[in-house]
Amino acid sequence: MIVQNTYGCQATSKTVITTSPGWQIGILYSYDDPKAITNADLTLDASKNYLYFTSSAGVYRAYFDNGPDKVWKYILLKDKNTSLAINGDGPLQYYKGTTDILYYIYKGRLLYAESTDQGQTWINYNNSFLIDNLDARFKIYANNLYYVSKTNQLVYYKPLNNLTGPSILVGNAPMNSSQNMFTVEDGILAYADAANNLVLFNAVTGVPFSVTLPVTQKQVSWNSSINIYAGNIYFVSNQTIRIVKKDINGTYSSFEDVPNGTTNQLAGTFTINKQTGTIYAKSYYPEARQIYYLNGTWTSNPIRQYISGGAVGGNAMIYGNGHVYFVNAGNIIGNAFYAAPCFPSVLRTTADTGDQLNDPLSNTLSEIHLLSLAPNPAKDQVRVAFTIPKATNAKLQLISIAGTGEIIQEEFIQAGSYEWELNLQSHAAGVYIVQLITDGNIYAHAKLVKY
């Protein structure tokens, strides 16, 4: 049935009509939704807006069906040969290579399932494990898989193309037992050690980065997320977000706290839109907040519930394509998004409406910046996404493993977010470095695999 309110907005009985713009949170569909397990993580195939998570019944794929009913759907993943559910008991990670792969934990071992038809059907390779004795925490970064050993709580990695090979130690300080106080981004391995102190390592060599702050200033609150944006380290300390900054010598020697009022007390879990720098965080009141830095000022906006039961809970939170996905207090999957008047509340947005590019926190910092490549590995075309804080001469170049360089695109651009296309059809298979040069300096770089 089509209903209409005083604003002239229309919706079916499966949607909720919003009356004012703003960020809102709620469960995906109903209280009959499958529930995530307690230590579940969320992983996203952003190209198709497929959200994967682990429940007691197995691994699920959640997505919004844009058909006539306009509803969220859940698909229990099963092995297409045996029809048995893909069972996990911990976090999982999605990886896009030449096929779709889900790495997952079951009984302390790393297993995987693979799809050759864009995530519609799966083959579960659960007869042999890839890594043994994991403590259920792992991340994928730059075609490497990083994991925490259950034996000594140290961090190791293996290349994805050699997961049966030897492990490489990169984090030699024992990690604490909190699930999300661990990340690998921008070439940095960051986590909280057994005493809850922030430690940083080069993600490839394992060489530690110097953090010269007093112990009281690098204490990470229990169950906080740790995120990296523009080379700076974000975590929650005493109910506020602390940003540890790197100086021109490469030392993490200073920090900035996001102003924290009585209505901005953060509860630990948060995520960052890496294209803009906007933070989305679980808080005590209200249930979540949107925080950004613009015109020299930190601004914090409440994210209100559009349906009862939308409170952010648990440890898992992830941003993608204008949505913040999370595990709510009842272990039901929820999301937050920007809704305008007359916009059906359960409808997935395709753009990041309501978010905006943040100002850089400092113009004097030597920062690492994000250069996103998708897909990667790639065969023909690659989308190169990046954000520039000011007008500049920008040049994108492709460097082969032999060191030869090729300019792909060069132009003067204004501040903002961009996506440039990189055509690989005439290039040989192999490993390349994509560099973004601004005003003659390397602004960002990333490794690309051509197959």
Q: How many domains does the chain have?
A: 2
Q: Distance (Å, rounded) from C-alpha 126 to C-alpha 111?
A: 6
Q: Do 110 and 27 lie in a common domain?
A: yes
Instruction: Give the pLDDT confidence score for residue 419 in this predicted structure.
Output: 87
Edge-to-edge strand list for the sheet holding 144-149: 134-141, 144-149, 155-159, 168-171
Q: Do 401 and 333 lie in a common domain?
A: no
Q: Which residue has the higher pLDDT, 97 or 77?
A: 77
Q: Do 229 and 378 lie in a common domain?
A: no
Reading the block at residue 100, the tokens are: 């779709």
The fraction of the chain above a pLDDT of 90, given in percent, is 35
What count of residues does the chain have? 451
Does 347 fall in a domain?
no
Any idea of the CA torsion for 326, 328, 332, 335, to the nearest 10 degrees? -40
Q: Do 313 and 404 lie in a common domain?
A: no
Asked whether residue 11 carries a pLDDT value surpassing 50, the answer given is no
Does 242 fall in a domain?
yes
CATH number at 178 reads 2.130.10.10
Please give the DSSP secondary-structure letter assigned to residue 221: P
Tell me the pLDDT band of 70, cut-offs 50, 70 and 90. confident
Q: Do 298 and 216 lie in a common domain?
A: yes
- The single-letter code of the amino acid at 146 is Y
Give whole-number Cα distances, 390 to 278, 354, 357, 360, 415, in Å: 17, 21, 11, 9, 4
Q: Do 47 and 154 lie in a common domain?
A: yes
Are the C-beta atoms of 438 and 418 separated by less than 8 Å? no
Instruction: Give the pLDDT confidence score for residue 6 in this predicted structure.
Output: 40
Q: Which residue has the higher pLDDT, 65 or 88?
A: 88
Q: Among 20-24, 347-351, 397-401, which is the least confidently predicted range?
A: 347-351
Q: Do 395 and 252 lie in a common domain?
A: no
Most trustworthy range by pLDDT among 175-184, 189-198, 332-341 = 189-198
Q: Do 116 and 242 lie in a common domain?
A: yes
Beta-carbon-side half-sphere exposure of residue 371 (alpha carbons within 13 Å): 27
Does 263 fall in a domain?
yes
Instruction: Give the pLDDT confidence score for residue 446 in this predicted structure.
Output: 76
Does 244 fall in a domain?
yes
Neighbours of 59 (CB within 10 A): 24
Sign of CA dihedral 445, 446, 449, 450: negative
Does 367 fall in a domain?
no
Q: Distance (Å, rounded) from C-alpha 51 to C-alpha 315?
A: 16
Please give the DSSP secondary-structure letter assigned to residue 129: -
Does 344 fall in a domain?
no
Q: Which residue reads 């250069």 in tokens?
A: 371
DSSP SS3 for 246 = strand
Are the C-beta atoms of 105 and 136 separated by less than 8 Å? yes
Tell me the pLDDT band of 214, cut-offs 50, 70 and 90. very high
Domain residue limits at 28: 3-339
Most trustworthy range by pLDDT among 59-73, 216-230, 286-300 = 216-230
DSSP SS3 for 160 = helix
Q: Which residue reads 């307690």 in tokens?
A: 38
Are the C-beta atoms of 68 and 14 separated by less than 8 Å? no
Helix or strand run (H / E) with residue 137 = strand 134-141
Q: Which residue has the higher pLDDT, 68 or 151?
A: 151
Q: Do 186 and 264 lie in a common domain?
A: yes
Strands 109-115 and 100-106: antiparallel
Q: Do 407 and 280 lie in a common domain?
A: no
Are the C-beta atoms of 423 and 396 separated by less than 8 Å? no
Instruction: Give the pLDDT confidence score for residue 371 in this predicted structure.
Output: 76
CATH number at 402 reads 2.60.40.3880
Does 325 fall in a domain?
yes
pLDDT digits (tens, 9 = 90+) for 427-437: 888 778 788 88
Strands 381-388 and 416-423: antiparallel
Does 363 fall in a domain?
no
Average pLDDT, the chain: 81
Q: Do 45 and 180 lie in a common domain?
A: yes
Q: Do 297 and 388 lie in a common domain?
A: no
Sign of CA dihedral 255, 259, 264, 265: positive
Are the C-beta atoms of 128 and 164 separated by less than 8 Å? no
Exposed (0-12), middle (13-18) or buried (19+): which is 337, by Cβ within 10 Å?
buried
Q: Which residue reads 């979540």 in tokens?
A: 288
Instruction: Give the pLDDT confidence score for residue 352 in this predicted structure.
Output: 39
Q: Which residue has the higher pLDDT, 353 or 413?
A: 413
pLDDT digits (tens, 9 = 90+) for 372-389: 888 888 888 998 988 887
Reading the block at residue 116, the tokens are: 């050759």
Cα angle at 187 between 266 and 397, to 5 degrees?
A: 120
Reading the block at residue 294, the tokens are: 């613009």
Asked whether residue 2 carries a pLDDT value surpassing 80, the answer given is no
Burial 227-260 (b: 16+ CB within 10 A, else e): bbbbbbbbbbbeebbbbbbbeeeeebebbeebeb
Reading the block at residue 139, the tokens are: 């991340």
Tell me the pLDDT band of 366, cut-offs 50, 70 and 90. very low
Q: Which residue has the higher pLDDT, 242 or 13?
A: 242
